[in-house]
Structure 1
Amino acid sequence: MTVDSQGAVSTASTDAPGSAAGTSKTPPPPAGPKNVPKPPRGRRSLPGGVLPYLLIAPAVLSMAVLLLYPLIRNVVLSFQQVGRRELITRKPEWTGVENYTELLGDSQFWTVVVRSVVFTAANVVLIMALGTLIGLLLNRLGKKMRLVLSLSLILAWAMPIVASVTVFRWLFDEQFGVVNWLLRTLGLSGYEQHNWFETGFSTLVIVMILLVWGSIPFVALNMYAALTTVGSELYEAAKMDGANGWRTFWSVVFPNLKPFFLITTFLEIIWIFKAFAQVYAMNLGGPDRGSETLPVFAYIEGQGQFHYGVAAAISVLTIVMLIAAMSFYFRLILKQEEEQ
């Protein structure tokens, strides 16, 4: 302890190292390399905005080759007259919009359009309703029963189209069909060798059963997966408020899974509207072309009647209808995002 000239007392700690010399140590330099390595000259990294486009370039090129080019060729073909003579001479005749005007003025075309729209609407309503119910059932079952039901759904979904059509044709066969046998066993009359494919309406009903049976697994499994994202506390709150099953679904499940219902419904509309193999393989669009939908109508006009230009015009109009449905869907999606 020292006393200066003015009587002030100052102390210095003798325990701190270096205090005797009147100096203080500076902290050691940080560990690690002193110089940051620079990339070697001649190698430059790609700009950040270019790399994503390079990554998606193979997929875009594949889609352009497999989808865009055939679509352009189909649009060009729709403005041409291509029949047997043009196939032999390889000189198609340009007709402008004649194929479209012929179709739009054809009552048979509009009959097929209405039939396709009604057929699609009936299928989608049944698929979404039954698929949602089965999805809710999967969410309530135990592990073992859920596994059994899930495997059954996957097996139905994985069955090839031609094989499933063959099974359904056998089920509704006129002479050896299981459906006729079952109805006769139940005591119903008039089903002795009943022909279920006698009319276009009955044929489409059988096709509808086939499509619903094959599409329910997709909706049910996706519904179950979506339900796992809904918190259990929401169900408990609804139960405490005295809500029944329907009220719980409408007030808790549906608002939280509204995007799921929108995208699934939209995918089912596309799937059913463009369904071809099931309708054609069931009864070749008959009888008397009474079970034709737009894809089958285009195929028969092209391959059966050799009106390839008209068939191309039918397919273009089908794409336009699907684009109209897509625009409606995207408008709903944008509206929902604005509400959020």
Structure 2
Amino acid sequence: MATVIAPAAPAEHGTPEPTPADARRRRFPWAPVTLLTPALIMLVVFIGWPLVQLVVMSFQEFGRAQIFGAAPEFIGLDNYAAVLTDPEFWAVLARSIALCVVSVAATMALGILIAVLMTKLSAAMRTAVSVALLLAWAMPALTGTIVWGWIFDTQYGLVNWVLTRLTGTDWTGHSWLIDPVSFFAVAAIIITWGAVPFVAFTAYAGFTQVPDEVMEAASLDGASGFARFRLIVVPYVRSILLVLLILQIIWDLRVFAQIYALQSIGGVRAETNTIGVYIYSVSMASGDLGAGGAISVILVAVLLLVSGYWIRTMLRQEEQS
């Protein structure tokens, strides 16, 4: 006689049956926290605690005397008031933002363009381009700045030599670093040159994830290359591009090594300070660590606002998609 197997009773009130993942979570409820603990400890030790000390220092009078052992004095918001009422701070901040906007725009445009070109190249050419990008990316910022300083050298620089040959005018002796405008033009070139490889590699990795079937269907429908890129590729990799944009804004707004090295080569420090170099000058050269801490906290607040805005925009777009 055949055995009749009764169907399983449905879960009450429409509650879904527990899955194996739910069972594992009940068995090891602390597993995620345990796995994240080493990373959280590293963040607290190397980022959290120094940030707390920086904030505390920004409310203190912390000068050369305190460096040599004197007790710091709590002065409230005096450091912030002195910084925010200093015209030099606002000039430096505006200068830094302008340089950041130019560098980020150039970096994103060139990086995305190179990434698109890499998708069209043969394997051999793509390997050659990748090696060239890696060489530029692997070079330390200080070393790269020194090399570019030689290229723009007043007497023996390649740029002056080429301009002399092309224009018929003697450019020997022309300094690109004395004038603040040309100084920041050179700085933007150096910053962009060092940042383009990261954007190109990351964007290329994103472009390769776009389904070929979708691109072929759009091509058969008569969509141009630019239309396919704008309407298909960009929506697929929008989150990647937003993350790249956030990172570039953060990195370029606090740039230090390139500006400091160029100033050492021939720039006028008082007219070419950016926020990173300005913090160093106030803290180390002037010895006012309290004011330097206040400027640093203001910079962190600006970066958090920028990052928060773009992250919220990215999350909102992901929810709508």
The question of a shared fold, defined as TM-score above 0.5 by the shorter chain, is answered with yes
Contact 2:156/2:172 (<8 A) preserved: no
**How far apart, CA to CA, are the structure 2 residues paired with 1:47 and 1:64?**
29
Letter aligned with residue 80 of structure 2: Y
Distance 2:54 2:34 in 1: 29
SS in 2 for 1:189: coil
The 2-side partners of 1:241 and 1:65 are apart by 56
Matched with 1:125 is 105
TM-score (norm 2): 0.88
Report what 2:192 is aligned to. Answer: 212
Matched, 1:305 2:283: no
Let me know the Cα RMSD of the aligned residues: 1.9
Offset of residue 251 of structure 1:
1.2
Residue 219 (structure 1) shift: 0.9
Which residue is 1:268 aligned to? Answer: 248
Q: Contact 1:124 / 1:268 at 8 angstroms: preserved in 2?
A: yes
Which residue, out of 138, 151, 168, partners 1:171?
A: 151
Which one has a bigger Cα radius of gyration? 1
**How many equivalent residue pairs?**
298
Could you tell me which residue of structure 1 aligns to residue 272 of structure 2?
291
CA contact (8 A) 2:62 2:72 kept: yes
Secondary structure of 1:155's match?
helix
Q: C-alpha distance in 1, partners of 2:267/2:41?
A: 40
User: Partner amino acid for 2:96?
Assistant: S
With normalisation by structure 1, the TM-score equals: 0.84
- Cα distance between partner residues in 2 of 1:244 and 1:181: 42
Q: Which residue of 1 aligns with 2:309?
A: 328
Residue 76 of structure 1 aligns with an amino acid whose one-letter code is V
Q: Does the CA contact (< 8 Å) of 2:58 and 2:294 recur in 1?
A: yes
Is 1:338 the counterpart of 2:311 in the alignment? Answer: no
Question: How many angstroms does 1:274 deviate by?
Answer: 1.6
| Greater helix share, structure number | 2
Cα displacement (A) at 1:89: 4.4
String of CA shifts for 1:118-166, please: whole Å, max 9, x gaps: 1111111111111111000000001111111111111110011221111
The one-letter code of the counterpart of 1:212 is T
Q: Which runs of 5+ in 2 are unaligned?
A: 2-25
Q: From the superposition, tell whether residues 171 and 76 of structure 1 become closer, same or farther in structure 2 (CA, over 3 Å).
A: same
Percent identical residues? 36
1:280 and 2:290 correspond: no
Q: CA deviation at 1:190?
A: 5.3
Distance 2:114 2:36 in 1: 38
1:134-213 pair list within 5 angstroms: 134-189=114-169, 191-213=171-193
Q: Distance in 2 between matches of 1:273 and 1:107?
A: 19
* Structure 2 counterpart of 1:91, one-letter code: A
From 53, 66, 73, the counterpart of 2:33: 53
Do 2:263 and 2:269's aligned partners in 1 also have CA atoms closer than 8 Å? Answer: no
